[in-house]
Structure 1
Amino acid sequence: MPGMVVFRRRWSVGSDDLVLPALFLFLLHCAWLVVLSMVLFSLPYSLGQSCSVTLVDHGRGYLGILVSCLICEIAIMWLSMRGSILYTQPRDAVQYILYIRLAILLVELVYAVVGIIWLVQYYQPCSDVTAKNLTLGIVACNWLVIFSVLITLLCTFDPTGRTFVKLKATRRRQRNLTTYTLRHRLEEGQASSWTRRLKFIMCCTRAQDSQSDAYAEVAILFAEFFRDLDIVPSDIIAGLVLLRQRQRTKRSTILDQANNDILAFLSGMPVTRNTMYLDLKNSAEMAMYKEVCYYMLFALAAYGWPMYILRKPGCGLCHLASSCPCVSVSGSQLPQSVTVEEDNCCGCNVLAIRRHFLDQDLKQVHIVYTSCHDAVYETPFFVAVDHEKKKVIISIRGTLSPKDALTDLTGDAERLPVQEPQGIWLGHKGMVFSAEYIKKKLEQEMILSQAFGRDLGKGTKHYGLVIVGHSLGAGTAAILSFLLRPQYPTLHCYSYSPPGGLLSEDAMEISKEFVTAVVLGKDLVPRIGLPQLEGFRRHILEVLQKSDKPKWRIIMGGTKCIPKSELPMDERPLGPTDPAPSTRLWLHPSDLSIALSTSTPLYPPGRIIHVVHNHPPDRCCGQEEPTYSALWGDNKAFDEVIISPAMLNEHLPHMVMEGLNKVLKGYAPSEVQTQTEPGEMEAGGFLASPTLLSSPKHLPSTPSECSTAPSTPSESDTLPLTPAQISD
């Protein structure tokens, strides 16, 4: 950072990113230099043959090229490791070494062409085996290097690079009209570039009008995020490492402060005396929590055969094959009353859903309708009747395809198509459209009427309605609940790992009446929305500006146990050898005053159950199993991305299922002291345990298996203990 300028064009690579590429080429050329030297000076040649004489001269010339390459690559590595991310002055000479290296590459290209010509003319008639092998080696080495360089150039090419350089130059000369024109061209070029990338990713899908609109909106989102930012991909990686270290240091500093109301940090969230844990000793609250665990099975089943095989890698495929009519003649057939839309030829998704419930011994769950239709703003879902719970369940699938990702990324605020009694009800645009699609589908196909009238003898007409989903499905389920609630006022929604940018504040408060959400640990998705992206962007720039370490050391430091001094976060006085701030920072385009376009704050829905865990300290080798507990989360507290290796893993649906079950398994009568992640200890230095932090009535009892009545936490559910009591 900033991007390297070569041939008057900015490239998507920094001058400090060349350490590894240069090292790769250096090792390759060293190996080939040793081999070529041994072949040329140790092995005998038939000098009477013209092909051998020509080739020996050619090989000796190539030795000179190898030596020149090694010198250039050593220089590139040495220069790239100098300076820091923003202090690029020690690396200014890199571009001139690159010019020399590219000139040598042209000579290598000539040698590669000459080698191919030699092979065409002499390979068959030449009887010198050594000469043949030497030629093949030289040609293979040449073309390997050439193709690697070409691929690197293709990956780092910035279509707007020339405009970016011109804009930088005009800003220095204060040419306002020219600057405005170039800025407009740059924004259009970046949006077009992101559109082409998205279309390349979606090249195998059929284009639709809604999909084209999604391309444009998502491209604008990415262009807006990177607007006026002269950063390269590796800067973001380094920024994540630095930001994680800053967050950990900040938590430790807060806990070390005297008279601090924060007792501990669990999964990155502060725990105070006002934090409300789920009182699982209370029968109503335990029943509610078991309902949350139970309906997660339906959200998990909506993913179909990919998730079924992922969860059962050993026998999952065999179970599906034994029931598949394409493989087994005796495979089980679907009942005629099940309507299936756009499943594959073998019906693998519906079979996986059925097997999922049979494996859980839920024989009273009958599938009524399954839609595997997948498009932008059109999410797959299924409808089932659960005779044991006396519920009709709509389960909506989460993100599983590039089309789903486009729906996720269309995150502007859209008005909910319902009558608002008060306030303004806004929601995530892509998920509002998905909810409208499912509602329209339910009405056109009369799916709910079929479900409620499926077995009148069992009273299905009086069953309740439950809507569930995970991730994209969680957001769509919450918004669909708004759309169906006028017709089904007693419905309830279970939203697992919902997106953070989902509902406006007014809609979020209303959703607490009928939506229960679940967030696991440091899950990224419930903490991400357009406003959060702006804060994340600003924090990344802040830590990059404060860093005085080379990028390669920062990134390597994020993959191993190193002293904290290697990743400094706090500002320090400038020393006599430190560069002045004006030379360390390129104030534009990496200016912190530049913000994203204003966006409406959106929040995760419903009453949030936050499943947290006490992690043991990080170690170089191995970790102990963390202890899980559940507390009531604040919707507005999920406003910052917590950088952690688990922030993506804890979003996976089967991990959410495991986390919910571990809360039940972890609740035991005894108070067991647990360990916390570094920076997650209470102020006195004592390890904090959920059972120790909760009141006596929170002491859990050993639960039985999962089964509801949502309860509202009361004032008595707070944490009344003093630090002295916690120390015990």
Structure 2
Amino acid sequence: MPALVAFNRRWAIGSDDFALSGVVPLLIRLVWFIVVAVIFTEHIASHNHFEKCNAERITYTYFSGFFTIMILTIIFEILIIYVSSRGTIIDTHPRRHIPRLLYSRLFLYIFEILLSILGIVTVSRNWNTDKLNCDNDVMSLMLAVVVLSWSGLLVNLITIFIKFDPLGHIREKEKRKLHKRLRRKSSVRSVFNVETPKALWERRCRTMCCNENAGEAFADVSSIFAQVFEEHDVVASDILAGLTLIRKEHKLLKMQGCMPKSSQSHFPKLTKPSQLVTDVLPRAVHYLQYAISSYGYLFYLFDNIACGICKLCRYKDCICCCYEDENCAGYNTAVVKETNGLTDDEIVYITYQNKIYEIPFFVAVDHKHKSIVISLRGTLSVEDALTDANADSALMIVDNQRMYAHKGILIVSQNVKIILDREKIIEKAYEIAESNDYELVVTGHSLGGGAAAILTILLKPDWPDIKCFSFACPGGLVSSVAVQYSRSFITTVILGSDLISRMSLESLEDIKGQLIKAVMETDQSKCSLLSQGCLSGMCGTDTYDTYGYDEMMLTVNDNQNLECQPNATSSSYQHLYDCDDNTIDETTGLTAVDEGDNGEGDNREGDNDEEDGDHAKNRQLFLPGQILWIKKISEGIERNSCCGKRQYVATWAKHEDFSSILVKPSMVTDHVPYNLMNAIHLIINDNRESHQQV
């Protein structure tokens, strides 16, 4: 940071990225050089094999040139690694000679290419399958060297292609003008009017997803991507180093009972549910199985590696091979039956249609639990990822209340509702159930969890007794009015530090600000930061992070007046809970600033946001309904231990608990549905054992 400027253009790599990335190629080249030198001196030169070669001079010239270029290349790579390791992320002056070293290295590449061409010509002219014009050992060694040389050149060419910045031709003066325009934007929610980055990201989206009919979706997603990723002159390694620094900050704040500061200052205020957590968990884990089964056979085989295929092949649906059906509908339907114990008659409707704003889902009758289940699949394709990325807010009106929701997921939910209404699927399900006492339950995980929550809100006027279990849904999903509206029929279940459930446009902007601030202030080199990050993340868990932390957080929940002591490290952060004296309306449970979002009795249709007159804060998006938080605690684990037994506790949480992204390795693994299911099972089993002991 900033990015490397060489050959009069910007590259997607920093001048300090060669310190680590150049070590492996250097070691490979050293081993390669030593092996070839040993073979050449011991088995060829010492036995005068060149005298048997018709092209003795050319062959000797080739190997002499090879050793010379290898020695020079090793020297230059050592110099590049040394210079690249100097300075800090921001202080690039000690690395100012990196472009010149790269220019010199380029000349060696040119000579290496010419030498490789000479090697190919020599081998082709002197290699005869019947009779070798040169000694077999000489030609074999030369062929191996040529193949390895071209392989190395191909790897370097691929690396250059990856690090190529399509916008790198913009001059530094034009780049500064672009940054000034970007800084005038108050948030990533603003309309991005710089056409070049937007057009680039739109082209990338079209390349990843070959659907030319989704032009509006591509435009929306590319606008968000362009502003999020083009606002600062950073490269990927800067982000990784910054996340390492932020993780250190977060660990220190946890020990103080604090959380990173959020740009959101007002949150939905809901009363704590009267229902016990232990009563909710058995139902939650049951419908989580439905949500997982909607992912299909790949997820099922991942969890049942040994005998998954054998179990699925008991169903006649599996006779249909994937080669005949690109969606593997037979296997996917068999997973739904096997996981949930369903028969053909109990599956009312199932679809595997997957496009932008369209996700697979199924409707089934669960006689055992007397419920009609609508299960929506989570993110499993590029189209789903683009739907997730369209995270701006869009208007929806339910029961004459104006609400906002995640635009991409709202469109998905509306499309599912259209199918349900057009095909009368819910009505057919109740006909199969032969009872109106069956409960209508909507469930899903990740993208499916978000779509399930919004779909439940849309169906609420027609089906008043509907319920929803939303697992690990995106954090920026619905506005405060929708949260208040759904508090009695939507339960959101989150595991630990799940990244997706804490992700919103506001939290992304917060973490981006923290990252830039941490990188600007650190005096450590990127090499040392990335090394620390790799070592601390090898275990893939945060055992030493959570030791004693959850007990501390439970204490903090009961003492909201506790303030963090400001210091040099945490001066930019605040306490986990805001202590502002906001007036709360007794009837709605919302703060005074959120109350204006209610708009009850306003029947205006359309989504012309400019005419709404709502403030940006009233369009902030949160998790839906009541939140059930599965938190980690440790049992007998040393702080620096990589292994140990996990224990979990379930508690009702507040929406402000998920306003900030917590940087730790488990923020990714906590989103895996099987990890969530295992955690809930552990809590249920522990409760059962404790009751038996009593």
Asked if TM exceeds 0.5, the reply is: yes
The amino acid that maps onto 1:9 is: R
Q: Which residue of 2 aligns with 1:49?
A: 53
Give 1:164 shift: 5.1
Give 1:502 shift: 0.4
C-alpha separation in 1, matches of 2:327 and 2:359: 16
**Given the superposition, is the C-alpha separation of residues 643 and 170 from structure 1 closer, same or farther in structure 2, using an over 3 Å criterion?**
closer
**Given the superposition, is the C-alpha separation of residues 74 and 286 from structure 1 closer, same or farther in structure 2, using an over 3 Å criterion?**
closer
Q: Which sections of structure 2, spanning at least 5 residues, go unmatched?
A: 183-190, 261-268, 538-566, 571-614
Instruction: Say whether residues 1:195 and 2:202 are aligned partners.
Output: yes
Give 1:609 shift: 0.5
Give 1:100 shift: 0.3
C-alpha separation in 2, matches of 1:606 and 1:185: 32
Contact kept, 8 Å, 1:439 with 1:480, in 2: the verdict is: yes
In structure 2, the residue corresponding to 1:558 is in which secondary structure?
Answer: helix
Contact kept, 8 Å, 1:426 with 1:503, in 2: the verdict is: yes
Q: Which residue of 2 aligns with 1:396?
A: 376
Contact kept, 8 Å, 1:502 with 1:603, in 2: the verdict is: yes
Contact kept, 8 Å, 2:52 with 2:134, in 1: the verdict is: no
Instruction: Say whether residues 1:77 and 2:81 are aligned partners.
Output: yes
Give 1:364 shift: 12
Aligned mate of 1:627, from 640, 647, 664:
647
Q: Which residue of 2 aligns with 1:606?
A: 625
Q: Which residue of 2 aligns with 1:529?
A: 504
The amino acid that maps onto 2:652 is: W
Q: Which sections of structure 1, spanning at least 5 residues, go unmatched?
A: 177-183, 256-261, 266-273, 330-341, 563-568, 573-596, 670-699, 705-728
What per-residue deviation string (whole Å, max 9, x for no partner) do you get for residues 471-515 of structure 1? 111111111112111111111111111111001111111110211
C-alpha separation in 1, matches of 2:72 and 2:360: 59
Give 1:369 shift: 0.9
**Given the superposition, is the C-alpha separation of residues 37 and 603 from structure 1 closer, same or farther in structure 2, using an over 3 Å criterion?**
same
Aligned mate of 1:442, from 417, 420, 427:
420
C-alpha separation in 2, matches of 1:175 and 1:403: 31
**Given the superposition, is the C-alpha separation of residues 163 and 295 from structure 1 closer, same or farther in structure 2, using an over 3 Å criterion?**
same
Q: Which residue of 2 aligns with 1:64?
A: 68
Q: Which residue of 2 aligns with 1:505?
A: 480
TM-score, with structure 2 as normaliser: 0.79
Q: Which residue of 2 aligns with 1:518?
A: 493
C-alpha separation in 2, matches of 1:139 and 1:170: 48
Give 1:652 shift: 1.4
C-alpha separation in 2, matches of 1:369 and 1:186: 44
In structure 2, the residue corresponding to 1:560 is in which secondary structure?
Answer: helix
Pairing of 1:687-702 with structure 2 (within 5 A): 701=691
Q: Which residue of 2 aligns with 1:37?
A: 37
Give 1:227 shift: 2.8
Give 1:87 shift: 1.1
Q: Which residue of 1 aligns with 2:554?
A: none
**Given the superposition, is the C-alpha separation of residues 235 and 375 from structure 1 closer, same or farther in structure 2, using an over 3 Å criterion?**
same
C-alpha separation in 2, matches of 1:521 and 1:312: 25
Q: Which residue of 2 aligns with 1:158?
A: 165
Contact kept, 8 Å, 1:278 with 1:285, in 2: the verdict is: no
Aligned mate of 1:351, from 329, 334, 339:
334
Q: Which residue of 2 aligns with 1:90?
A: 94
Aligned mate of 1:653, from 656, 663, 673:
673
C-alpha separation in 2, matches of 1:325 and 1:455: 23
**Given the superposition, is the C-alpha separation of residues 169 and 247 from structure 1 closer, same or farther in structure 2, using an over 3 Å criterion?**
closer
Q: Which residue of 1 aligns with 2:407?
A: 429
Instruction: Say whether residues 1:121 and 2:141 are aligned partners.
Output: no
C-alpha separation in 1, matches of 2:431 and 2:326: 25
Aligned mate of 2:291, from 291, 299, 303:
299
Contact kept, 8 Å, 1:561 with 1:619, in 2: the verdict is: no
Pairing of 1:399-414 with structure 2 (within 5 A): 399-414=379-394
Contact kept, 8 Å, 2:358 with 2:415, in 1: the verdict is: yes
C-alpha separation in 2, matches of 1:59 and 1:619: 55
The amino acid that maps onto 2:653 is: G
Contact kept, 8 Å, 1:47 with 1:53, in 2: the verdict is: no
C-alpha separation in 1, matches of 2:313 and 2:109: 54
In structure 1, the residue corresponding to 2:206 is in which secondary structure?
Answer: helix
C-alpha separation in 2, matches of 1:644 and 1:518: 20
Contact kept, 8 Å, 1:278 with 1:630, in 2: the verdict is: no
The amino acid that maps onto 1:701 is: H
**Given the superposition, is the C-alpha separation of residues 143 and 614 from structure 1 closer, same or farther in structure 2, using an over 3 Å criterion?**
same
**Given the superposition, is the C-alpha separation of residues 363 and 526 from structure 1 closer, same or farther in structure 2, using an over 3 Å criterion?**
same
User: Greater CA deviation, 56-65 or 511-520?
Assistant: 56-65
In structure 1, the residue corresponding to 2:170 is in which secondary structure?
Answer: helix
Aligned mate of 2:443, from 465, 468, 480:
468
In structure 2, the residue corresponding to 1:126 is in which secondary structure?
Answer: coil
Give 1:446 shift: 1.2
The amino acid that maps onto 1:321 is: C
Q: Which residue of 2 aligns with 1:239?
A: 242
The amino acid that maps onto 1:368 is: V
**Given the superposition, is the C-alpha separation of residues 598 and 227 from structure 1 closer, same or farther in structure 2, using an over 3 Å criterion?**
farther
Contact kept, 8 Å, 1:517 with 1:608, in 2: the verdict is: yes
TM-score, with structure 1 as normaliser: 0.76
Aligned mate of 1:226, from 222, 229, 237:
229
Contact kept, 8 Å, 1:431 with 1:476, in 2: the verdict is: yes
**Given the superposition, is the C-alpha separation of residues 702 and 17 from structure 1 closer, same or farther in structure 2, using an over 3 Å criterion?**
farther
In structure 1, the residue corresponding to 2:230 is in which secondary structure?
Answer: coil
C-alpha separation in 2, matches of 1:352 and 1:82: 55
The percent of aligned pairs where both chains have the same amino acid is: 30
CA RMSD of aligned residues (A): 3.2
The amino acid that maps onto 1:161 is: G
Contact kept, 8 Å, 2:443 with 2:452, in 1: the verdict is: yes
What per-residue deviation string (whole Å, max 9, x for no partner) do you get for residues 488-544 of structure 1? 111111111111100111111111021111111111111001111110110111111
Pairing of 1:119-158 with structure 2 (within 5 A): 119-124=123-128, 125-158=132-165
C-alpha separation in 1, matches of 2:466 and 2:194: 46
Q: Which residue of 2 aligns with 1:318?
A: 310
User: Greater CA deviation, 410-419 or 597-606?
Assistant: 597-606
Contact kept, 8 Å, 2:16 with 2:85, in 1: the verdict is: yes
Give 1:201 shift: 2.6
In structure 1, the residue corresponding to 2:286 is in which secondary structure?
Answer: helix
Q: Which residue of 2 aligns with 1:105?
A: 109
